């Protein structure tokens, strides 16, 4: 079982609210990722980080933002949620050396009304 | 650029029968290949990976995959399917020579194992 955590697991909020999805890992991994996934569908990379103070946008454009102030923590923020943001958000990490697999958190299922 | 194709949206198999979930890839160099499984309302769980060496890779829960360079394929197999294997399966690729550390995932294949 991978030591990567996401909170909340489920979130239902109204349009216009600001939200932050939390992701933490205790493995000391320097590389972390956020994916967006509609139910039963493919994963789309929206943000990634290769270390503290390093963040990049992924392949899918997203209105969310991320920060990486500490190695273990990679939160994702939506300043003003909209129904189009309704989706599952998955966080992942992997270590520095070698072709290591990514470890995934359990996901946050977000519903914006 | 790197890409992955999973040509089957769904695979149905009877319990006890062998199963195959197909995956083909495209990279400019040599690939790192991965299989993940996702159960409902969960994150992805790592099953197995091909890095180098033996083309037949064994992974968790009795799954294995065969790397075929000439056919650019990495099909997932299991000799005898279980109902509990029913889940969504993702193939992923990373180019050894470039592209950073990002994985590219396929669109997923829903495996349904019936009694």
Test A40 with B88 for CB contact under 8 angstroms.
yes
**pLDDT tens-place string over residues A18-77:** 999 999 999 889 999 999 999 888 899 999 999 999 999 998 888 999 999 999 999 999
Domain-by-domain residue ranges, chain A?
4-112
| pLDDT confidence of residue B77 | 98
- What percentage of chain B carries pLDDT values higher than 90? 79
CA proximity to B94, closest of A98, A17, A22: A98
By C-alpha distance, the chain A residue nearest B95 is A99
Return phi, psi of residue A26, to 5°. -110, 20
**pLDDT tens-place string over residues B59-108:** 999 999 999 999 999 999 999 999 999 999 999 998 776 556 788 999 99
Residue with tokens 């996702």: B38
| pLDDT confidence of residue B70 | 95
Which of A:3-22 have CB within 8 Å of B? 6
Fold (topology level) of A4-112 = Immunoglobulin-like (2.60.40)
What class does CATH assign to B3-114?
A: mainly beta
| pLDDT confidence of residue B29 | 85
CA proximity to A30, closest of A3, A68, A76: A68
Domain-by-domain residue ranges, chain B?
3-114
Interface test with A, best of B27, B43, B74, B104 (most A CBs within 10 A): B43
């Amino acid at each position: 079982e991978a030591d990567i955590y996401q909170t909340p697991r489920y979130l239902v909020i109204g349009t216009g609210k600001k939200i932050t999805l939390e992701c933490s890992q205790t493995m000391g991994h320097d590389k972390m990722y956020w994916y967006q996934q509609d139910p039963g569908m493919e994963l789309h990379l929206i943000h990634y980080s290769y270390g503290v103070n390093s963040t990049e946008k992924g392949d899918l454009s997203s209105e969310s933002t991320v920060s990486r102030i500490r190695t273990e923590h990679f939160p994702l923020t939506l300043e003003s949620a909209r129904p189009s943001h309704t989706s599952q958000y998955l966080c992942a990490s992997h270590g520095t050396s070698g072709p290591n697999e990514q470890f995934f958190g359990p996901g946050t299922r977000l519903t914006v009304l | 650029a790197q890409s992955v194709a999973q040509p089957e949206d769904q695979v149905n198999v009877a319990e006890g029968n062998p199963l195959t979930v197909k995956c083909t890839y495209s990279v400019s160099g040599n690939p790192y290949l991965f299989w993940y499984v996702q159960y409902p309302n969960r994150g992805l769980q790592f099953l197995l990976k091909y890095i180098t060496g033996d083309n037949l890779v064994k992974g968790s829960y009795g799954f294995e995959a065969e790397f075929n360079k000439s056919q650019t394929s990495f099909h997932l197999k299991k000799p005898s399917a279980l109902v509990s294997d029913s889940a969504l399966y993702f193939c992923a690729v990373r180019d050894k020579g470039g592209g950073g550390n990002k994985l590219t995932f396929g669109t997923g294949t829903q495996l349904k194992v019936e009694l």
